Every structure is written in C-alpha cells, then in structure tokens.
Amino acid sequence: MESTSHFLVNLLAILVSLLFLQYWLNQPKLKKAAAEMITIFCLAISIALCMLMPVTTTSGIVFDLRFIPFVIGCFYANRLTRIGMIGLIILLRLLEGYHHAWLAIVNILLIYFFIMALKKTFIGLPVTSKITLSSFLMFLMSAWTLAGVKWFLHIPVTLSFAINYIFIQTGGMFIVGYMVESIREQHLVIRRLIRMEKMEVVSHLAASISHEIRNPLTTTRGFLQLLAESGDIPADKKEYISIAVNELDRAEGIIRDYLAFAKPAPERIETLDIKKEIEKAVRILEPLAKMNTVEITADLNACTIAGNSVFLQQTLINIIKNGIEAMPNGGKLSIDAIQEYSTVSITIADEGIGMDELQKSRLGEPYFSTKESKGTGLGMMVVFRLVESMRGIIQVNSEKGKGTAITLTFPAIAADSKQRNTMAQATAAEK
C-alpha cells in the first residue's frame, strides 16, 4: 500500500509539471528558445521529483516513475533536452549511492537507444496509435526493469509490488501520453484559428482595395495602348510599351488572384497538363534564375489535374521565385512531377537557407516572411489559399542551412473523372 501511494505521488508530480508546461506554452508571443527552456525545466523537475520521492525495497533497490517523463522527452523534445535528461538521471542516481547504480545507468542508456530506434515510426503514427505504443513500451520497460533486478542482482520482487509498479507505470504513461497529445492538438487548433482570422482580414482587405487599384491600372493600360498605335513612336520603343502592357495585365491578374480569398472556389475548372504548366512557369522565371546563378532542372512525368490555370501558374511562380531568392549565392532548384495512383505530386526543392521548425509552422501566415524586411509573406499566403481552392495539400520539408522542399498534392484527373461518372450513374439510377 505504501509503494502504491509513493508511485501515485510520483505520477502527481509529473502531471503537475505537464500542466505547468501547458500553461506556459499557451502564452502568446512565446519565442522558440523560451519554449525549449521551459520544456527542459518541466521535464527536469518531474524527473527530479520522481527520483527524490522513490520507493525503496527492503533489499535497497530504488523504484520510481522517472521513465514516464523520460519517454515523453525522448519522443517529443530535441536532442539537447534528451542529453540533459540522461545526465540528470545518472547524476541523481549516483548521488543516491553507488550501490547497484550500474544497472540503473545501463538500463537508461539501453532504453534511450531503443526509443530512438522507434522515434521515426512513432512520429508518423496517428494519435491513438502513439498513445497505445508509448503505453505498451512502458509496460515492456517496467517488466524489463523488474526482470533485471531479479536476474542480474538476484533480488526477489514480490508479485504485488510488481503488479503495482507495472500497472501504475503503464497507466501513468497512458494518461500522460493522452495529455501531451491533447496539448499538441490544442496548439494546432489555436494556430488554425489565428490563421483563419488573419486570412479573413486579408480577404476583406483584398476585396475592398482591388477596385481602387484596378482603376489606375486600367487607365494606364489605355494610354499605353494609345501610344502604341501612334505612328510617331519607333518600333523598338513600341516593344517596350508592349512589355509594360503585359506587366500591367500581370499585375491585374495578381490582384484577381488575391481575391481568391473571398471566393470559395475558382470560377473556371479545366483539365491542366502539369508538364506544360510547369514549363510555362519556368520560362517566365528563367531570367531571374540566371541573374541569381540558379540552375533549374525538371523531371516531369505526364499527368493531369482538374483546376484553374491562372491559379496554378500563380502558385508555381510564387514557390519557384521563393526558391530562387532563397539561394543568393546560386545553386540548383529541382522540380519533379509524378502521378501516384489517384494523386499528382509536384515537388519544388531548393538548396537555399532553409527554415527552422518555428518558421515552417508560420509559413503561409500573412505578413510573415523569411526574407525579413524584403518580404511581406503575402505570396505564400496566396499559395496556400489557391492550392486549397483546387482541393490540394501543401507539405513543407525544410532544414536550416540545407534547403526547402515544397510538395503540392492534387487529386489526379482520372480519379476526378471516375468520381463524376459514379455520381452521374447514381443520379441516373435514382431517376
């Protein structure tokens, strides 16, 4: 009974630390460095409290719930936090005494390497599977610890103690895992809400000023056309006027694209040849690429989607342009397009400055840009909205100093046609 109460006190210390962590992580304008320090502090406090309030058997073996915050830190925290946790556990264990300390140190290192081997698989799992896997892992770790005490130290462990230890460890891991995933989900929901509010503001702003901007553009375009029709202007100068008119048309098109925020879907849906669309966008940006000594390579397979050509062009141009500008010293920008089953994927990868996790999470927010004072963030905001309007998904993979890869995934035209045929057949059957 005494061991159960001690284990429950350990579990309470862990839960209080996590609640404290949740409170601070929900604070607005919390910087990444501060968030990492708070995470390290909370995990260290929970480990220390568990080890300072252990259950000591009559044989002198010490048990506690240090593994719960340790597993959470290994799965969710960065490398510095993981190393800090290992160092703290070893230090506190040695301060308790050198008797049987070797088993605790070897045990924590073996568990660490085992968790690291599972981490990549763990990250890709859905929430329910993550909680189940971490709980099952804690069950195995608890049984392994008890077995190590019995086999290596030849110290008997009572059945009631073993049941209490394994049950509270596993149940505690389940509760803590659920709390951690709930906290993470809450953060994602808050970010989505903030982003939606910002998008709504930009939508109203785009709709309100578009008319005022289009008027001077239309007037300027008209006067340029009149000049082009004049016989007093040399032919080479008329070519400049033609370029200016084309750029005005492009500016008007960009304004129209910004209005996509106020529209639920593109007005015109057509069959788009991805290879032709990408080649067109590359031709437009070739001069900019040469100016920045950037080599653009493309590996394009034949694939088609249902979408809007103007929307897709604006999306491709914005992403390719960002990739070129992310390589001020030159480099290689690759574009791949492939159809897999019912989806078409377009991947645009650069060798530029890359982004950290915080920058990745904020990508697409209005007025957030990695270009500092040179960027407004509106370009990527437009990209996210246009891709969404064509039922696409954006995935961003980036590493600081190594480059960024942006993958656009759209439903393939074959899947769309099949779906429309199925709907038509169902409608005919109803009639």
Residues 150-208 pLDDT 10s: 787 777 777 877 887 888 888 888 988 888 888 778 777 777 777 666 666 666 666 66
Mean pLDDT of 407-415: 80
Looking at the predicted structure, is the pLDDT value of residue 416 above 70? no
Looking at the predicted structure, is the pLDDT value of residue 334 above 90? yes
Residue 124 CB burial class (10 angstroms; 0-12, 13-18, ≥19): exposed
Give the pLDDT score at 430: 42
Give the pLDDT score at 176: 86
Give the pLDDT score at 374: 56
What whole-number distance in Å separates Cα of residue 392 and Cα of residue 315? 11
Looking at the predicted structure, is the pLDDT value of residue 264 above 80? no
Looking at the predicted structure, is the pLDDT value of residue 292 above 90? no
Nearest to 144 by CA among 106, 175, 116: 106
| Tokens linked to 280 | 């067109």
Check: CB of residue 279 under 8 Å from CB of residue 361: no
Mean pLDDT of 117-122: 86
Would you tell me how many other CB atoms lie within 10 Å of the CB of residue 117?
10
Mean pLDDT of 359-380: 64
Q: Which of 158-172, 329-343, 373-387 is modeled with the greatest confidence?
A: 329-343
Mean pLDDT of 307-325: 88
Give residue 424's pLDDT band: very low, low, confident or very high (50, 70, 90). Answer: very low
Give the pLDDT score at 243: 82
What does pLDDT average to over the chain? Answer: 79
What whole-number distance in Å separates Cα of residue 106 and Cα of residue 67? 14
Looking at the predicted structure, is the pLDDT value of residue 426 above 60? no
Residues 6+ apart with CB under 8 A from 100: 60, 61, 153
Looking at the predicted structure, is the pLDDT value of residue 94 above 50? yes
Top CATH class of 2-194 equals mainly alpha
Give the pLDDT score at 2: 52
> Percent of the chain at pLDDT above 70?
80
Per DSSP, 377 falls in state S
Q: Coil, strand or helix: which one is 74?
A: helix
What whole-number distance in Å separates Cα of residue 343 and Cα of residue 339? 6
Number of H helices, E strands in the chain: 13, 9
Task: Give the global pTM.
Answer: 0.52
Give the pLDDT score at 195: 67
Place domain 270-418 in its CATH homologous superfamily.
Histidine kinase-like ATPase, C-terminal domain (3.30.565.10)
